[in-house]
Every structure is written in C-alpha cells, then in structure tokens.
Amino acid sequence: MEKIKKMPQIKKNLIKCFFMEITVLCKVVDNFGDIGVVFRLCRALSELKKNLEIRLVVSNLDSFAKISKGIDSTKTFQEFRGWKVFDWNDSALCKKEFSKNPPEFILECFQCGRPEWLEELLFSQQFNLNVQIVNVEYLTAESWADDFHLLKSGTRSAKIKKINFMPGFTKKTGGLILDKNFMRCLSEKKFALNLVKQNLDKKILSEDFSDSFKILIFSYPKNFDFLASAIKEFSFLKKIIVFVASGAGADSAKISLKKFKVDFVCLPFMQQEVWDAFLSLMDFSFVRGEDSFSRCCLFGNPFIWNIYSQEEEFHIVKLNAFLQKIKIPQIEKFSFLYNRSFKASCCPESLEILEEKKLPSELEKINSEMKTEILSLLKNYESLKPEFKKFSNEILKNGNLAENLLNLLETKIPR
C-alpha cells in the first residue's frame, strides 16, 4: 500500500525532471539592447531544452516587434515561437495568468525589478510559493563580475530565493549566448550571405557588396564629421560601402556623411537572425547596445564599441575594463576619445584613467586626433583582424551562457 501511495508523487517528480517552466522578465530601457539579449536568450534556451515552457513578460512590445517578425505590439498576450508573451503593463491579464499558474523559476534580466502584480503574487500568504529568481545581469568586463557570479541575494521571504548570474568574458562568469543561428553565421559565410540576400531589398545589397570594404555605423548620436572625413579619404584607397543602421544615432551619422559627400546605404530594422548575418559580413563596425556588442566580440571582425553614456562619465571605467580584456593597443586611444561625453563633472575613477592616457581636452584637437586614429585603423584592418579573432576564440571557450544557465537551474538549484 505504501508504494501505491507514493506513485503519484513519483510521477510528479518525473514530470518535473523533463518539463520546466521559466518566466523571463524584460524591462526595455535602451531601445533594442535589452530585448535583443532577452530574445536571444529565450531562443537559445528553447534550442537546448525541448520540454521548456517560456513565459516572456516585456514592457515594450514595439521594440520587440521591430527585431522579430511575428510579434504584434497591439496584443497584450500572444503565443510566439511556442512561448507565451505578455505585456508587462497589463496587470489584470498577467495577474490572472500567473495566479492560476504561479512561476517556479524567474529570470529577472538586467535588474529590471518585478511588476507590482508579480510582487504581490510572490509574497502573498495565500499562494505560499517557493520560487527561484535569477538576476541575469548586464555584460561587463569589470573584475567584480567574477566574484558576483552565482552570489546569492536576499528577498522579503525565505521561500523566494535569488541568485546573480553574470554574462562575461572569463570562465568564472556565465559566458555569452551562443544560439544556433549565430553560430552558423560565425562559421558559414555563405549561409550568412544567403540569409541577408533572402531578407533584404536588392537595392540595399549592390552587386559590389561582396567585393567592397563594408563599414557599419550603429552608434549613439554625435558629431560624426571626423568619421565621415576619414571614410572619404579611405575611399580613395579602397572600394567601400557605408551602412547606417536605424536607431537613435542614424540622423547625426547621415548629416556628416552627406556633408563630406560620402555615399551610404540606410538599413531597415531587421529580424535578429538577419542582423546577426549582416554583422558577420562587415569588415569594420561601430556598434552600440549589449546584444550587438557581444556579437561583434564573438565574430572576430574589427569594431569600435560605443558604450552607453553614464553620469560623471563612469562608462569610461567600464570601457577601460573591456579594453584591458581585449588587449588590442591600437584601438585604445580612439575608443576613449570616441566615448567621451565631455560632461561638466567626471568621476575620480574615470578622470584617473583619462589623465593616465594623456588625452587632449580641446574639442578641435580631439576631432583631429579621432580622424587620424580611425583612418589609421581602417588602413591597418588586415593586421587588426587576427587580434580580434584571437579574442573571439578565447571567449568562445567559455561556453554557452544559455547552457550554463540551464545547468544551474536543473542541477544546482533544488526543485
């Protein structure tokens, strides 16, 4: 009789072993960087585990729709790629769904916090839940990421547990996301080219596409005169195509390129998989946003990172940490100059770095040096490429963040 009584519980435990539900929270702050990483993470998790149910809660469905066909930004609930997608802002709908089917695992991406309806549910005595929250952090090259990875945090209840999970560039972190489409674009240039050709207008991809030196500008707004002038000069040496990606910095890039009579191609918003393929084909890129930044690190083609500007220029500290990891001295000076925001105040940590590098402070001299530096980088592309590829190979060895995360949920956190 005792064995018979235990059978239902054994069956439940077996189902748990094969089936997993994960709730993913994404509060969109930087247009596409946040949702880009979260979308990629969900795809990678689904690729690794067939019996996985994902409930994706997003604060800005407009941004999601622009990088993925199939998302309807007017619907507060929809099924997409086998996932359930909810509008963070529809409290009544979400509360009803999650009360009926409470979460077991929650990925709280980029310290986005939790919506009020979920907070109320988690700490309600009525439900008495046992929930594991994983704070999937922003990507950083700073050394504290190694110590912060898998560090536990407290909540208002002993039953609601929280642990921190750090993407990163070392084996002591969770690594970077290696989804199937990306990995194929990385290893098969023909696949990437065909994917781009199938999805972009023929007017965008000229007959000279494959034979030209391809430059991508996907940066925050700034005066790009120095870059346009350098590209113009470089165009006398090489056949080039300049692509300007849609987004916040597109207009300022176009103004400068027109001023210096540099021809360019405006890019439409693309599905993330197509964007990956397009990025992989670029010879030199200027990129922003965590998702595109991480892809460029992994592709191994020369690029310059336009980091998100922070108060008192603290982003210089983060930039410096990355430059110390990638170890390509040729890009250091330009990277610092390119990312200065020249705000009234500068934190001591950033000021110390900038003074050590002995960078100019007069705007005219800065623009002149930026042109000189970037022109040199473009001209020396061939010698730079092996250095970027070396960095790519090193971080690929750290494994797939999605696989490392699943391993944590399945084996190291009791269910």
Residues contacting 158, CB < 8 A, separation 6+: none
109-130 confidence digits (pLDDT tens): 988 889 999 999 999 887 788 8
Residue 22 has, within 13 A of its CA and on its CB side, a CA count of: 27
Whether residue 77 is found in the same domain as residue 223: no
pLDDT computed for residue 184 by the predictor: 97
Contact 127, 121 (CB under 8 A): yes
Tell me, yes or no, whether 325 lies in a domain: yes
Contacts of 382 (CB under 8 A, 6+ apart): none
* CATH number of the domain residue 218 falls in: 3.40.50.2000
Q: Is residue 35 classed exposed, middle or buried when 0-12, 13-18 and 19+ CB atoms within 10 A define those classes?
A: buried
Domain identity same for 137 and 44:
yes
User: Could you tell me which residues come within 8 angstroms of residue 76 by beta carbon, excluding any fewer than 6 positions away?
Assistant: 86, 87, 89, 90, 93
Residue 54's pLDDT is 97
Q: Residue range 375-389: average pLDDT?
A: 97
Are residues 259 and 173 both part of a single domain?
no
What DSSP designation does 400 have?
B
Does residue 28 have a pLDDT over 90? no
Chain segment 291-342, per-residue pLDDT in tens: 999 999 999 999 999 999 989 999 999 999 999 999 999 999 999 999 988 7
Three-point CA angle 165, 168, 174, nearest 5°: 45
In degrees and rounded to multiples of 5, residue 239 shows phi and psi of -75, 120
How far apart, in whole angstroms, are the C-alpha atoms of residue 284 and residue 300? 10
Question: Predicted confidence band at 17 (pLDDT cuts at 50, 70, 90)?
Answer: low
CA distance 198 to 218: 22
Domain assignment of residue 48, yes or no:
yes
User: H/E element holding 51?
Assistant: none
pLDDT given for residue 360 in this prediction: 82
Question: Rounded to an integer, what distance in angstroms lies between the CA atom of residue 405 and that of residue 359?
Answer: 41
Mean pLDDT in the chain? 91
In the structure, what pLDDT confidence band is assigned to residue 2 with cuts at 50, 70 and 90?
very low
pLDDT of 14 reads 42
Q: Which residues contact 245 (CB under 8 A, 6 or more apart)?
A: 216, 217, 218, 267
Predicted pLDDT at 363:
78
Enclosing domain of residue 137:
20-177+399-410
pLDDT above 80 for 13: no
Of 90, 31, 41, the closest CA to residue 65 belongs to: 31
pLDDT by residue (tens digit) across 122-174?
Answer: 998 877 888 999 999 999 999 999 999 999 998 888 889 999 999 999 999 99
The Cα–Cα gap between 291 and 285 comes to 14
Do 119 and 73 lie in a common domain?
yes
Say if residue 252 is in the same domain as residue 333: yes
Which residues share a beta bridge with 249?
A: none
| Dist. CA 149–CA 357, nearest whole Å | 31
Q: Is residue 160 part of a domain?
A: yes
> Token pair of 240, please?
């080039």
Query: For the CA atoms of the chain, what is the radius of gyration?
Result: 23
Rounded CA-CA distance 62/75 in Å is 11
pLDDT tens-digit series, residues 188-246: 999 999 999 999 988 888 888 999 999 999 999 999 999 999 999 999 999 999 999 99
Residues 370 and 390 in one domain: yes
* pLDDT band at 30; cut points 50, 70, 90: low
Same structural domain for residues 301 and 273?
yes
Provide the pLDDT for residue 414.
Answer: 58
- Give yes or no: residues 110 and 185 share one domain: no
User: 140 with 246, same domain?
Assistant: no
Say how many C-beta atoms besides its own lie within 10 A of residue 345's C-beta: 9
Task: Give the pLDDT confidence score for residue 412 in this predicted structure.
Answer: 64
Containing H/E element for 248? none
Task: Tell whether 216 is covered by a domain.
Answer: yes
State the pTM of this model: 0.91
* pLDDT for residue 31: 57
CATH number assigned to the domain comprising residue 406: 3.40.50
pLDDT tens-digit readout, 241-296: 999 999 889 999 999 999 999 999 999 999 999 999 999 999 999 999 899 999 99
**pLDDT tens digits, one per residue of 337-372:** 999 887 768 899 998 998 898 888 777 888 999 999
Question: Which tokens hold the place of 384?
Answer: 């730079």
